Amino acid sequence: MRDEDFLLLKNLFFNLRISDKEEEHFKSLWCTKSFKQYDLITEAGSIERNFYLVLEGVQAIYVLNEKGEKVVLGFSYTGSPSGVFDSFVSGEPSKIFLEALKPSRLLAISKSDYLDLFKNDPSFYQWGHHFFQEVLFGRLSREVELLTLTAEQRYISFMQRCPDELKVIPQKYLASYLNMKPETFSRLRASTVY
Amino acid sequence: MAKLILTPENQIQRLNTIFNSVEQLRDLPLVQLKKRGNPKTWSVLEVILHLNIAYGHYQTKFEEILPNLSSIDVEQKKFKCRAWQKFVIEGQRPKNNVRKWKMKTLKRFEPIIDSEHVDDKKANEIIDSFFALYGHLKETIVTSRGKDVTKIKFASAIGPIVNFYLPESFEFLICHLERHMVQISEILKQVEK
């Protein structure tokens, strides 16, 4: 594992207090996976086998509506965790796709290795508590935005917080995430200052 | 008539759902897999063998066609199914888990199994073949996402009276699978009685 990749990993698992030997073992549990643009990393109907950390690239998680259109639930990008967490935790087939929107490099840990981390070191429970709390807060905040803000407010709020690498993905994914038509997104992009 | 828009993601999701259902069949006792609901119908294993036979034509065609399609760098556009092809596809698609009408199978697609001599090993071989063949279909759908699928069409297994572009053939095959998955549920209900 490259040093810069391990730095991202340590940043995600910020609270770990492990010895050098344990660190080597921790590192050995992760493998790097590369995906081309538009590769499906996880397919709906299959079980998510890995927990990922994004080293490079942008990915979208989405479901298909009745018309077969992609409805974007969220994105992952450099430094963020990725994967279809509900399927990973439950072991049930996912209803969600995870797709690389840009060429992507991800660090992956398998379910059994992930569970062993918790079994062998209680500090992972603290991390897990914090991690899933952040996921929950993030989802609640998004739900409130979707239900209470106007399209323009949603656009401004998102553009103010989203990293630059997310701003260059195809507009239709951003529009879908913000629950607006691509035409509306395009109009807001041309006319709104944030 | 409403448009039928075909996307590879929708097809992949439905194919994975079918794979999960077929995988569960492995847990059933052999007697349930090879028993017919009534003398005029097929057993579960016969249905799967029929599906395996039905894919043969398409496997050959896909292997011929796929290398000849040009690659695309952009995301594939939505594919609108043509009217006649849509009619043929909708004839296969079950509605609300019901087959709208029963069809006579062409002789060359009929499964022939000597049920008395089918053991667990043979049953697993039939199911393994299913996964190998329809795994090929899934690979083809995944690969086709990076190809221009609007250039080459080919005759279906029924003959030149129905020709397909790749997305139409995928849809036809998946609807055919879904139709037979409904049949398998019906057989299992009859066998359990």
Distance CA B4, CA A16 (A): 52
For residue B106 the two structure tokens come to 């062409």
The answer, for A170 touching chain B at a CB cutoff of 8 Å, is yes
Q: How far is A51 from chain B (nearest CA, A)?
A: 20
Cβ contact, residue pair A38, B145, below 8 Å: yes
Q: Give the tens place of pLDDT for each residue, B33-49.
A: 999 988 888 999 999 99
Residues paired with residue B5 on neighbouring β-strands, in sequence order: B80
Cβ contact, residue pair B12, A40, below 8 Å: yes
Q: What is the CATH number of the domain that holds B36?
A: 1.20.120.450
Look at A48-52, A101-105, A163-167 and tell me which has the smallest mean pLDDT.
A163-167
Q: How far is CA B77 from the centre of its chain?
A: 24
Residue B124, number of CB atoms within 10 A of its CB: 12
Cβ contact, residue pair B12, A64, below 8 Å: no
Q: How far is A139 from chain B (nearest CA, A)?
A: 24
Percentage, residues of chain B above pLDDT 70: 99
Q: How do the domains of chain A map onto residue ranges?
A: 3-122
Range(s) of the domain holding residue B187? 7-192
Least CB-CB distance to A67: which of B5, B15, B20? B5
Chain B residues with CB inside 8 Å of A46's CB? 16
Q: How far is B94 from chain A (nearest CA, A)?
A: 16
The answer, for A43 touching chain B at a CB cutoff of 8 Å, is yes
Domain range A3-122, CATH class:
mainly beta
- Complex ipTM value: 0.87
Residues on B contacting A at a C-beta cutoff of 8 Å:
5-7, 9-10, 12-17, 19-20, 75, 78, 142, 145-146
Helix ranges (DSSP H) in A29-181: 85-90, 111-120, 123-148, 151-161, 171-177
Q: In a 10 Å sphere around its CB, with 0-12 CB exposed, 13-18 middle and 19+ buried, how is residue B109 labelled?
A: middle
Nearest CA in chain A to B139: A40
Chain A residues with CB inside 8 Å of B75's CB? 38, 170
Nearest CA in chain B to A64: B10
Cβ contact, residue pair A68, B145, below 8 Å: no
Cβ contact, residue pair B142, A68, below 8 Å: no
Domains identified in chain B, total number: 1
Given a cut of 80, whether residue B149 has pLDDT beyond it is: yes
The set of residues, in sequence order, having a beta carbon less than 8 Å from that of B122 and lying 6+ positions away, is none
Residue B46: closest CA among B126, B158, B129: B126
Longest distance between any two alpha carbons in chain B, whole Å: 54
Q: Give the tens place of pLDDT for each residue, A6-39.
A: 999 999 998 888 888 888 999 999 999 999 999 9
- Encode burial over B39-61: b for 16+ CB neighbours within 10 A, e otherwise: eeebbbbbbbbbbbbbbebbeeb
Chain B residues with CB inside 8 Å of A42's CB? none
Confidence of residue A1 (pLDDT cuts 50, 70, 90): confident
Distance CA A165, CA A172 (A): 15
Using an 8 Å Cβ cutoff, are A87 and A63 in contact?
no
The answer, for A91 touching chain B at a CB cutoff of 8 Å, is no
Q: Give the tens place of pLDDT for each residue, B81-127.
A: 999 999 999 999 998 888 877 777 777 788 888 877 889 999 999 99
Q: The pTM is what?
A: 0.90
Residue B52: closest CA among B121, B115, B135, B119: B135
Single-letter amino acid code for the residue at B138: K
pLDDT for the residue numbered A120 = 87
Least CB-CB distance to B142: which of A40, A45, A170? A40
For A182, phi then psi, to 5°, come to -55, -35
Q: How far is A59 from chain B (nearest CA, A)?
A: 14
Given a cut of 70, whether residue B1 has pLDDT beyond it is: no
Residue B1 lies in a domain: no
pLDDT for the residue numbered A192 = 86
Least CB-CB distance to A43: which of B16, B75, B146? B16
pLDDT for the residue numbered B40 = 83
